[in-house]
Amino acid sequence: MLRSAPLNIGFRRILADNKWIRSLHLVSRRMSVHLSDSEDTFKWNLIDYRCFTVRSMYLDLLNGQTVFLKYIWKIKVPLKIRIFIWFLHRKEILTKDNLVKRNWQGSTTCFCDQEETIQHLFISCPFAKIIWRIVFMTFNISPPANMTSLFGNWLNEIPKKDKGHIRVGVCGLLWAIWNVHNDLIFNKKSFPSFLQVIPMSTHWIHLWSYL
């Protein structure tokens, strides 16, 4: 199959939706592969002498991450909070849309009766919007448009000396939203209010200041 031109590829089903585009992408990647009868060898392409090093792998991972994550392990918050932020960025925390992927049969709606996703819970939910609005009115920091912005170029216009403090504050807000959400789901607490989140997050930020 690989030696023929064009490639001798056949599919038993019609390539619907984006599958056709993905197949073309696969073919384009194949075009850069040149087969020969020589013995196979391993090469590490991140450095010139083609031998694996942990440093080269680490630097490549850092360069491939968004701006926020370059600093995530340096933020002066407890380790479990940094791990939470890491999973949040990877979209792996167990919001209801992720639970469905694990064959969960419960309701998929947020407490505002819209579909619960990470983007919705932390950014788009009316509950979250009120909290980000308070941040804007208090510190004149525009709310992030989405999770990509939050972990990307959201703080580009902020002076460097202030970014570290803001990131700690963001960790506190996100952790507070998550805990209020879990109290509602698992502890049957009353419908959440932004008046719960703000004192909770400021309390944690005060505790983390000792770090």
Q: Tokens for 88?
A: 């949040």
Q: Tokens for 71?
A: 């600093």
Residue 22 lies in a domain: no
Alpha carbon separation from 161 to 30, 107, 157, 167 (Å, rounded): 47, 44, 12, 11
Residue 35 lies in a domain: no
Residue 102 lies in a domain: yes
- Backbone torsions φ then ψ of 149, nearest 5 degrees: -65, -40
Report the pLDDT value the prediction gives residue 39, as an integer from 0 to 100: 87
Residue 18 lies in a domain: no
Closest residue by Cα to residue 205 from 152, 166, 162, 177? 166
User: pTM for this structure?
Assistant: 0.65
Report the pLDDT value the prediction gives residue 122, as an integer from 0 to 100: 92
Q: How many CB atoms lie within 10 A of CB 192?
A: 19
DSSP 72: G
Alpha-carbon distance of 160 to 88, in angstroms, equals 24
Residue 142 lies in a domain: yes
Residue with tokens 């932004």: 194
Which residues of the chain are modeled with pLDDT < 70?
Answer: 1-7, 62-70, 191-192
Q: What is the identity of the amino acid at 50?
A: R
pLDDT in tens, 102-115: 888 888 888 788 88
pLDDT in tens, 151-176: 777 887 788 778 888 889 999 999 99
Residue 58 lies in a domain: no
Residue 119 is part of which domain span? 71-208
Report the pLDDT value the prediction gives residue 84, as an integer from 0 to 100: 92
Residue 200 lies in a domain: yes
Residue 149 lies in a domain: yes
Q: Please tell me the total count of domains within the chain.
A: 1
Report the pLDDT value the prediction gives residue 185, as an integer from 0 to 100: 77
Alpha-carbon distance of 185 to 29, in angstroms, equals 46
Report the pLDDT value the prediction gives residue 177, as an integer from 0 to 100: 92
Angle, helices 194-208 vs 160-186, to 10°: value is 130
